[in-house]
Structure 1
Amino acid sequence: MSAKTIVIFSTKGGVGKTFLALNLAVSLAYYSRKKVALLDLDTRVAGDMGRWLNVSSNKSLLGLMRSLQEKPREVALKDGLAHILEWSIDFLPVVLRPQDTLHLTPEKLKPVFEALDQEYEYIIIDGGNAFTEILTLAFNFANLILIVVTPDLLSVYQTKWAVDVLQSLKIPLNMIKLLLNRSQSLGGVTWQEVRAALPCEIIGRIPSEGKVVGLSLNRCIPVVVENPSSKVSQAIRQLEKLLTTDEGLFLKRIDFDLTKSSQDEVNVLAKGGEFWEKFKIGPQMPSVEESDKEEDEIISLKQRIYQRLIEKLDLKHIEIDMTNPQKAKQLREKTERVIALALAEETGAFIASSDVRKRLIKEIADEALGLGPLEDLLSDPDISDIMVNNKNQVYIERFGKIELTSKRFISNDQVRQVIERIIAPLGRRIDESAPMVDARLPDGSRVNAIIPPLSLTGPTLTIRKFGLERLSIDDLLRLGTLDQTMADFLKACVMGRKNIVISGGTGSGKTT
C-alpha cells in the first residue's frame, strides 16, 4: 500500500491552513473510514495543532526518526504517533520545541516518510508558511499540493509567488491545486478573479463562518464533527469526497536512485514503455546497438514533449538569442515549467527525487533551447575540445587525451539543429551549396561544422573551447612554454610594430 500524501501549504499566515488540514484529516478518517496520519510540519509555531486537537503527547517526527535510527527492527510505527481514538486519526508534530528543529535533516527524515507512506492510506501534512528543507522533502513525497488562498490581494500575490517557487523546484503545475478559504467574505475579490489571477485550479471553496469555526477551535473539537450541518463542514466534506473518488487529482510518484548500477533496478514502467531508459539518464547509458523500436520510443516521447513546447511557447517562431543572457534565462525558466508539466502529463507520474527531476528537465530544455548533449561538456572546465563525428559518437579532449563520451544525439537532424543554433546569431548559413562553416560561441570558443555532401557520416561538429584563464607572458615563462629569449623576441616584435604570422599544428598553442 502506498499513501496518498497531501501537503496543505501557504506562505501567508492566518489563511486557515492548519484548520483545514486538521478537519480534512478528521473527515477522511471519521466519515470515510480511511487510515489517516496527520503531520504538523510547522516548525515556527510548534504545538498549535496539538492544542487544537487537545492532545498532550511527547511523540514527534524527530523522536520517531531517532527511534528508527537506533532500533529500526524493534520500533512499531503506530507507537511512534499519537493515536486520537475519538477522531480515528494518528497525529505527529515535527518537533515538540522550536529549537529541536536544528536536529532535523532531510536525509535522516526520508526513511520516516518512506515508512509512513507504506502504513497509511492518506497522509495530510500541514506545511506551515515557509519554504524549508523539511517542507521540500515533503513536496517530494507528495501526490498533491493544496495551497490555501483567501480572497484578498495580498494572499493572491503571495500565492502567485509560492506557485513560482514550486515550479522552480520542478514541481509540475497540475500537481498544485488551490483551496479558497473564506470564499464568501464581504469586500473580498471574487473566486472568479482569484482563478483568473492564478494558474492553478480551485478544487474547494470554503465559506466564511467565523462564529462556528471559533466555537469549534475554542472547544478543541473539529468542526466537521461538532457542527456537521454547517456550511464550512459541508464544504470540507465535499472536498473529502472529491479526494476519495477522483484518482486523477493525485500524481503517482516515481522513485529512482541514480547511484544504482544495475540497469534492471532503474527500469520504471511508464506510459509508452520504459520511462528512464527513454531519457538515458540511468548510470549505464544504452549501447549504440539498441533496437530500432526502443530508439523510436525515445524519439517519440521527446517529440511529444517538444510538440507541447511548440504549442505553449510558439517555439518555432521564438528567436533564441544566445548572446543575451537575461532573455535566455527568462525563456529557459518558462520552458522548464512547461517541460515539468508535460512530463507529468505524458508519464502520468511525479518524479520523487528532486535531483533526478531537475536533471531530466535540464536535458530536455538543453535539447529544446541550447546545444543539447553538448551543454554539460561545454560547462566542464577540464575539457578543451569537443568532436561530434556523428549522432552516436561524441569525443572530447581532456588533459590532452581523447575520450569517447556516453553523450548521444537522438538524430542527425538534432546535430544539424545545434549547428544552426550556433551560426544563426552570427549571420552565417550552412546548406548543401555551402556545406562547411566556421563560427565562434559567445565565450570565444571556435566552431567548425561540416554537413553532407562534404561529410559522409552525417553532420559533424568540432568545438575548440576558449580557455577561461588568460595567460600572460609571465605565466608562459613560469609554465615553461617560453624561455626568456623567446619572450624578449616577441616583445621586441610588438614594440617594433612588426607583422607577425603564427602557425602550427592543432593544439600546439597558436592562439595562446
Structure 2
Amino acid sequence: MACRFVVVGAARDGVGKTTFAVNLALSLLKETRGRVMVVDLDVGGVGDVATLLGMTEIRTIGDFVPYVAQLTPQTFGPYIQAHPTGIGVLPLAANPQAARKLAPEGVRQVLDLVAPLCDYIVVDAGAGVDPINVLAMERAAGIFLLAEPTPTGLAATRQFGDHLQSLHFPHALVKVVVNAHDPQSPITREAIAARLGRPALVIFPKDDALTLDAALKAAPFVMDQPRAALSRHYDELVRQLVEKGVLDQLAAVERGKGQQVGGKLAVDVTQEQDKAIEGFMKARGGNRGKGAREMDARTRLKMLIHKRLPEVLDLKRMDREIGTRPDKDKLLRERAEAAVAKVLDEEGASVTDRNERRRIVKEVCDEALALGPLEDLLADDRVTEIMVNGRDNVFAEINGKLRRTEFSFTDDAQLLAVIERIVTPLGRRIDEKSPMVDARLADGSRVNAVIPPLAIDGPSITIRKFAREPLVVADLVRFGSLTPDLADLLRACVQARLNIVISGGTGSGKTTLLNVMSSFIPEDDRIVTIEDAAELQLRQPHVVRLESRPANIEGVGEVKIRDLVKNSLRMRPDRIIVGECRGAEAVDMLQAMNTGHDGSLTTVHSNSPRDAIARMETLVMFAGLDLPSRAIREQIASAINIIVQVSRLSDGSRRILSVCEVVGMEAQTITLQEVFAFKQTGLDANRKVQGTFGPTGFVPKFVSKLAELGIEVPHGIFAPAGHATIPRGRA
C-alpha cells in the first residue's frame, strides 16, 4: 500500500491540533499495526509533538536537509527516531527561528525519503496556510481541520475551508473535526453543521482533565487511558478511516480519478444541466456556436459554472464595497476565484485533480473578468500579435511566425463580451450602428475590432501587443533591425531636431521604431504625442499624451487627429509626435514642421521612401485645400528631412531597409538621396533572411547642420567597406 499522508490543520492556534495529531497516529498504530510516523510541520509550534511524547534531543528535518542529496530511503531509515510506542517522530526544526529559514523544497525532498518507509504519516501542520503546509496538503489522502465548538471557532473554520477550496483543494478532501465539545452546550450537532456548512466528520467530547493529565505525564491518553470515552472516540474514528474505507475514498479524491477523454476531462453533465446550458446561452445571445451536447464535457462544465456564478458572486456589490483601493483588481479576482471554486465543487465533483481544478478556475475567471482565452496569449512574451477571426479561429504571431492556436471562444456572445470589456472603459462603443472600433489595452497594446454585419463570419479582433518593458535601441541592434552606426546616426538626427518620417507596411515595426527614436529626445523638451489609440511609451518627464475620440451614440463629440494637431500648436510644444498620418492631419503636420516645430516625428503606411512622399502628397489633398501639386511638394520637401523605411521580411524579422535624405526639389520632383540600404543575399538553412546593411557612400547634407550644433558624426560611417565617401549630392 502506498503511504497515506493525513494532514491535520486549523484556522487558528489553540484548538488541540497537536494533541489530535499525536493521538490519531497512535490509534492508527493500534488499529493497523502498520508503520506510522508523526511529522511536525508547525512552524509556530516547533517541538510540540516531541513535548507531548516526552522526547528530547531528537533529529529534525532541518538536520537532514543539507545531506538530502546523499541519502536514499534505505540509508535514511536508521536515522529516524521512534517513540517507545513504535511511532516514528520527525520535527521540522530545533526552534522557530531555524524552522523559518527552511525552504519548502528541502522539506519536500526529506518527505520524499520518508514516504516509502511508512504506511501512514500524520502531519501536524501549522494554523492557516504557508508554503510548507501547502506542500504537505498536496500529498494528503485527507485534510482534517480541527475546530473549537464556539460560534467564532466554527466561523473561522468554515472560512478556512473556503480558503482551501479557493486554493483548488477539493471540498470532498477536507473534513472537519470538532474538538472538546460540551454535551451540555447549546451548540448542538445540528447547529455545528449549520455553522460549518457541512456535517462534522466527528465531534470529540470535552475532557480537560484527561488531556491535561496526558500532557503532564507526556503519555498520550489513547495509550495511557485506552478505556476513556475520548480514547474510544479516537478508535472509532480510525475504524471509520481504515475499515470503512473513508481514507481510501479521500485518497481517491486526492489522486483525481476524473476520466480523460481525448485530452479533455470528462465530466458527467445531466440532461437537465444541458437544458440549463442551452437556456443560458440563448439568454446571453450566443446565437452562433455549438449547442450544449456538441461541446466537450470540460466546456459544458465551464458553462454551468458561468450560469451559476451570478448566484454566488455580485460583482457590482463587490465593486462598491472595495471602492477605489489600489489593490481593487486583485481583491476582485481573489473573491471571484473563491466563488468559482465553490461552484466547481457543486457542479463538477468529479474534477478532483488540483492542477485541472486550477486551470478551470483560471479560465472561468478570465472569461468572467478579463479577456478569456486571450489572456494566456497576452501573457506569452513570444507573442507579438493576436488575430481572432470568429470564435473558432484564433491566430497569433509567435517569434515572427503566424500560427493557428488551440484557443477558441464558446460562442459569439463570449467573444462580443470580451470586445465590450476592452472598449467600455475607454468610453468607446461597438454595436450595429458603429460596428468598428480602435482601442487599446491597459498595457498600451493596440486593438481593432469589427463585428457583424460587417464581419460576416463572426466578431473579429486584432491585437498588436506591446512589450511589458519598452524596447530600447540596444534591443533593435541585438535583433539585427539596425546597425550600431545607424543607431548613432538616428540618435544624432533626433537630437539635432531633424523632422523624420518612418515609412513601412502593416506590422513592419513603425511604432516600435518611433518609440525607440522618441527616447533620443532630451528630457527637458516638452513633447506632445497625438494618436488614434495611445501606444507610445515615452519615458521623458514632460510629455502630454493626446488621443482622438470617435463620435458618441448621438453622433456628436468626435475629435479627430487633425483637431488635436491644430490644438497642439497652442500648447507650446518643443516636439510633436503623431503616431500615424493617415488623413488630412498631414497638412497641419507639415505646417507645424515648417513653422518652427522642428524635431517632429510621425509614421505613414507606404512601401518605399518614394511611395512615402507620394502618400504624404495624397494625404494633404484629403484636407480639401485647392493647392497645386508643386506647392504641396515644396511643403513636403522643406518640412521633411529624413525618411526611414522599415519592413517585415519573409522570416518574420523586422528591419530598416533604407534611410533616405530629402534633398529638395528638382523641377516638379522631390529629390531623395539614399544614405543607408539593406541588400538581401538569400536565406540560410533555417529560412532566415541573410543580407548586409551599410552605407551607400553618399554623405547627407544634414551632416553640416549636425556639425554646427556640435554633434559629431564621423564621415567614415558613410563609406562602404573599401570605398571613399562621395561628396554631398543628389540621387
What TM-score, normalized to structure 1?
0.74
- Alignment correspondent of 2:178: 180
Query: What is the alpha-carbon distance in structure 1 between the residues aligned to residue 94 and residue 109 of structure 2?
Result: 20
Query: What is the alpha-carbon distance in structure 2 between the residues aligned to residue 125 and residue 335 of structure 1?
Result: 31
Q: How does 1:149-160 map to 2 (within 5 A)?
A: 149-156=147-154, 158-160=156-158
Structure 1 contact 449–459 (Cα < 8 Å) conserved: yes
In structure 2, which of residues 201, 211, 214 is the aligned counterpart of residue 213 of structure 1? 211
- Alignment correspondent of 1:96: 94
SS in 2 for 1:28: helix
The reply to whether residue 504 of structure 1 matches residue 604 of structure 2 is yes
Query: What is the alpha-carbon distance in structure 2 between the residues aligned to residue 276 and residue 80 of structure 1?
Result: 45
Q: How does 1:237-276 map to 2 (within 5 A)?
A: 237-244=235-242, 245=244, 246=246, 247-250=248-251, 252-254=253-255, 270-273=258-261
- Alignment correspondent of 1:335: 336
Query: How big is each residue's C-alpha offset from its partner over 1:330-365, in whole Å with a ceiling of 9 and x where there is no partner?
Result: 553233224445666747465466xx8655532342
Query: What is the alpha-carbon distance in structure 1 between the residues aligned to residue 265 and residue 11 of structure 2?
Result: 38
Alpha-carbon deviation of 1:21?
A: 0.7
Alpha-carbon deviation of 1:158?
A: 4.2
- Alignment correspondent of 2:81: 82
Question: Per chain length, whose mean CA-contact separation is higher, i.e. which structure has more relative contact order (CA < 8 Å, sep 6+)?
Answer: 1
The reply to whether residue 484 of structure 1 matches residue 584 of structure 2 is no
Query: What is the alpha-carbon distance in structure 2 between the residues aligned to residue 358 and residue 344 of structure 1?
Result: 12
* Letter in structure 1 aligned against 2:35: K
- Alignment correspondent of 1:18: 18
What TM-score, normalized to structure 2?
0.54
The structure with the larger Rg is: 2
Query: What is the alpha-carbon distance in structure 2 between the residues aligned to residue 360 and residue 468 of structure 1?
Result: 26
The reply to whether residue 304 of structure 1 matches residue 404 of structure 2 is no
Relative to 1, partners in 2 of residues 1:409 and 1:241: Cα closer, same or farther, differing over 3 Å?
A: same
* Letter in structure 2 aligned against 1:21: A
Relative to 1, partners in 2 of residues 1:466 and 1:479: Cα closer, same or farther, differing over 3 Å?
A: farther
Relative to 1, partners in 2 of residues 1:453 and 1:447: Cα closer, same or farther, differing over 3 Å?
A: same
SS in 2 for 1:202: coil
* Letter in structure 2 aligned against 1:374: L
The range that moved more, 488-497 or 134-143, is: 488-497
Query: How big is each residue's C-alpha offset from its partner over 1:301-355, in whole Å with a ceiling of 9 and x where there is no partner?
Result: 132133034225338996798x9887765553233224445666747465466xx
Structure 2 contact 182–205 (Cα < 8 Å) conserved: yes
The range that moved more, 1-10 or 488-497, is: 488-497
* RMSD value, Cα: 4.6
Q: How does 1:368-383 map to 2 (within 5 A)?
A: 368-379=368-379
Structure 2 contact 170–354 (Cα < 8 Å) conserved: no
Query: What is the alpha-carbon distance in structure 2 between the residues aligned to residue 121 and residue 297 of structure 1?
Result: 45
SS in 1 for 2:13: coil
Relative to 1, partners in 2 of residues 1:331 and 1:200: Cα closer, same or farther, differing over 3 Å?
A: farther
Query: What is the alpha-carbon distance in structure 2 between the residues aligned to residue 166 and residue 197 of structure 1?
Result: 17
Alpha-carbon deviation of 1:504?
A: 3.0
Structure 1 contact 141–352 (Cα < 8 Å) conserved: no
Query: What is the alpha-carbon distance in structure 2 between the residues aligned to residue 65 and residue 224 of structure 1?
Result: 33
Query: What is the alpha-carbon distance in structure 1 between the residues aligned to residue 440 and residue 46 of structure 2?
Result: 57
Alpha-carbon deviation of 1:373?
A: 2.1
Percent identity reads 29
Query: What is the alpha-carbon distance in structure 1 between the residues aligned to residue 148 and residue 186 of structure 2?
Result: 8
Query: What is the alpha-carbon distance in structure 1 between the residues aligned to residue 82 and residue 370 of structure 2?
Result: 53
* Letter in structure 2 aligned against 1:484: R
* Letter in structure 2 aligned against 1:337: A
In structure 2, which of residues 202, 206, 210 is the aligned counterpart of residue 204 of structure 1? 202
Query: What is the alpha-carbon distance in structure 2 between the residues aligned to residue 30 and residue 326 of structure 1?
Result: 51
- Alignment correspondent of 1:286: none
The range that moved more, 339-348 or 385-394, is: 339-348
- Alignment correspondent of 1:284: none
Query: What is the alpha-carbon distance in structure 1 between the residues aligned to residue 59 and residue 295 of structure 2?
Result: 48
Alpha-carbon deviation of 1:143?
A: 2.9
Relative to 1, partners in 2 of residues 1:130 and 1:55: Cα closer, same or farther, differing over 3 Å?
A: same
Alpha-carbon deviation of 1:199?
A: 4.5
- Alignment correspondent of 1:259: none
Alpha-carbon deviation of 1:366?
A: 1.1
Alpha-carbon deviation of 1:300?
A: 1.7
Alpha-carbon deviation of 1:179?
A: 1.6
How many matched pairs? 470
SS in 1 for 2:8: strand
Query: What is the alpha-carbon distance in structure 1 between the residues aligned to residue 313 and residue 434 of structure 2?
Result: 24
Relative to 1, partners in 2 of residues 1:137 and 1:489: Cα closer, same or farther, differing over 3 Å?
A: closer
Query: What is the alpha-carbon distance in structure 2 between the residues aligned to residue 116 and residue 468 of structure 1?
Result: 44
Query: What is the alpha-carbon distance in structure 2 between the residues aligned to residue 453 and residue 99 of structure 1?
Result: 67
SS in 1 for 2:408: coil
Relative to 1, partners in 2 of residues 1:364 and 1:128: Cα closer, same or farther, differing over 3 Å?
A: same
Query: What is the alpha-carbon distance in structure 2 between the residues aligned to residue 181 and residue 316 of structure 1?
Result: 33
Q: How does 1:274-423 map to 2 (within 5 A)?
A: 299-314=296-311, 329-341=330-342, 346=348, 348=350, 350-351=352-353, 358=358, 361-379=361-379, 385-391=385-391, 393-396=393-396, 401=400, 403-404=402-403, 406=405, 408-413=407-412, 414-423=414-423
Structure 2 contact 266–297 (Cα < 8 Å) conserved: no
* Letter in structure 2 aligned against 1:31: E
The range that moved more, 312-321 or 93-102, is: 312-321
Query: How big is each residue's C-alpha offset from its partner over 1:27-85, in whole Å with a ceiling of 9 and x where there is no partner?
Result: 112024343221111233333222322334533223444454213375153x2432345
- Alignment correspondent of 1:141: 139
Query: How big is each residue's C-alpha offset from its partner over 1:255-288, in whole Å with a ceiling of 9 and x where there is no partner?
Result: xxxxxxxxxxxxx973252667899xxxxxxxxx
Relative to 1, partners in 2 of residues 1:307 and 1:117: Cα closer, same or farther, differing over 3 Å?
A: farther
Query: What is the alpha-carbon distance in structure 2 between the residues aligned to residue 218 and residue 371 of structure 1?
Result: 60
Q: How does 1:22-61 map to 2 (within 5 A)?
A: 22-56=22-56, 58-61=58-61
* Letter in structure 1 aligned against 2:26: V
* Letter in structure 1 aligned against 2:107: L
Relative to 1, partners in 2 of residues 1:233 and 1:134: Cα closer, same or farther, differing over 3 Å?
A: same
Relative to 1, partners in 2 of residues 1:58 and 1:202: Cα closer, same or farther, differing over 3 Å?
A: same
Query: What is the alpha-carbon distance in structure 1 between the residues aligned to residue 264 and residue 121 of structure 2?
Result: 28
Query: How big is each residue's C-alpha offset from its partner over 1:119-143, in whole Å with a ceiling of 9 and x where there is no partner?
Result: 4332211113354332221122223
SS in 2 for 1:125: strand
Alpha-carbon deviation of 1:239?
A: 2.2
Q: How does 1:426-437 map to 2 (within 5 A)?
A: 428-430=429-431, 436-437=436-437
SS in 2 for 1:205: strand
SS in 2 for 1:461: strand
Alpha-carbon deviation of 1:196?
A: 3.5
